[in-house]
Structure 1
Amino acid sequence: MAAVSATCVRFGTSLNQSAKLNQIAGTSTSFKLVAIGWTRTGFPSLRTSHFRVSCAAKPETVQKVCDIVRKQLALPAETELTPASKFSELGADSLDTVEIVMELEEAFSISVEEESSQNITSVQEAADLIDILVQKKSEA
């Protein structure tokens, strides 16, 4: 039996996101899918095609990113922002995205590489990257 160590586990997220975040943060983490089942009949089992593990940002990081995005894009208070909100769907162009990243760098005292900033397209991706970079910074 294999043990998996993770900061956070969330179901329903693709492994491609984890690989993308690892590439952005410059880390190399490998995930292995594990089939889980029950020996008794009548109990459901998880199959490898439905079991996905990824890291998710802290809720306070997601909220702070939402606040910054709302401010930078001058979004009305009634505009719903969720972790899945894509910047382009909120009306952001490439310059807006650069300004959002610059504001995030200042707010979290981090530095985002240019190539990494081009891969940030949603609130969740930004929050995940921020948590990775903040953790990396604290370990240094």
Structure 2
Amino acid sequence: MASAAFTASSLRMRPAPPSLKHSQPSGLRSSLLPVNMKAYPSLTAHRGSLHICCAAKPETVDKVCQIVKKQLALPDDSSLSGESKFAALGADSLDTVEIVMGLEEEFGISVEEESAQSIATVQDAADMIEKLIEKKGA
């Protein structure tokens, strides 16, 4: 078991003191991680493992969801989130290419083929978009 020490924009792990080793609730799934006065849904724990990602802005995730719905002809009331997998939504490889093309057009970015192949979820796409936009602005 480990405890986390948060700094302005990073997370460091260190062993928990013996008095805290058995006090962690076992049902922890996710929480909001405050970074630079913003809360990002980016900390998830599953059975002894800890997954941290640099979550994209909610607006970016929402735009990606709208593009995915449009490209896959899903009803407007379809429930999509960052964890939604393209394959689970019925997308094949051609659909994924079309989704990436829609993202490129909407956000004014260019996605390398290698990066496009690593996109499996809405969150993957949103994170990649923000990285590309950041690079473009630098």
The normalised TM-score by structure 2 is: 0.69
Equivalent residue letter for 2:70: K
Going from structure 1 to structure 2, the CA distance change for 1:51 and 1:118 (only over 3 Å counts) comes to closer
Going from structure 1 to structure 2, the CA distance change for 1:36 and 1:138 (only over 3 Å counts) comes to farther
**Partner Cα distance (1:134, 1:42) in 2:** 42
**Partner Cα distance (2:22, 2:110) in 1:** 48
SS at match of 2:101: helix
User: Is 1:35 the equivalent of 2:34?
Assistant: no
**Partner Cα distance (2:121, 2:21) in 1:** 40
Task: Determine the structure 1 residue equivalent to 2:31.
Answer: none
**Partner Cα distance (2:103, 2:89) in 1:** 17
Q: Cα RMSD between the aligned structures?
A: 2.7
1:4-83 matches, within 5 Å, as 6=9, 33-35=12-14, 37=16, 44=23, 50-83=49-82
Equivalent residue letter for 2:14: A
1:104-115 matches, within 5 Å, as 104-115=103-114
The normalised TM-score by structure 1 is: 0.68
Mark the runs of 5 or more structure 2 residues left unpaired by the alignment. Answer: 25-47
**Partner Cα distance (1:108, 1:55) in 2:** 19
Going from structure 1 to structure 2, the CA distance change for 1:50 and 1:91 (only over 3 Å counts) comes to closer
Deviation, structure 1 residue 62: 0.1
Mark the runs of 5 or more structure 1 residues left unpaired by the alignment. Answer: 10-32
Going from structure 1 to structure 2, the CA distance change for 1:63 and 1:41 (only over 3 Å counts) comes to closer
**Partner Cα distance (1:131, 1:95) in 2:** 23
Going from structure 1 to structure 2, the CA distance change for 1:132 and 1:6 (only over 3 Å counts) comes to farther
- What is the aligned length? 112
CA contact (8 A) 1:73 1:96 kept: yes
**Partner Cα distance (2:82, 2:102) in 1:** 18
Q: Which has the higher contact order (CA 8 A, sep 6+)?
A: 1
Deviation, structure 1 residue 78: 2.8
Task: Determine the structure 2 residue equivalent to 1:92.
Answer: 91
**Partner Cα distance (2:132, 2:63) in 1:** 15
SS at match of 2:126: helix
Deviation, structure 1 residue 6: 3.2
Could you say which structure has the higher strand fraction?
A: 2
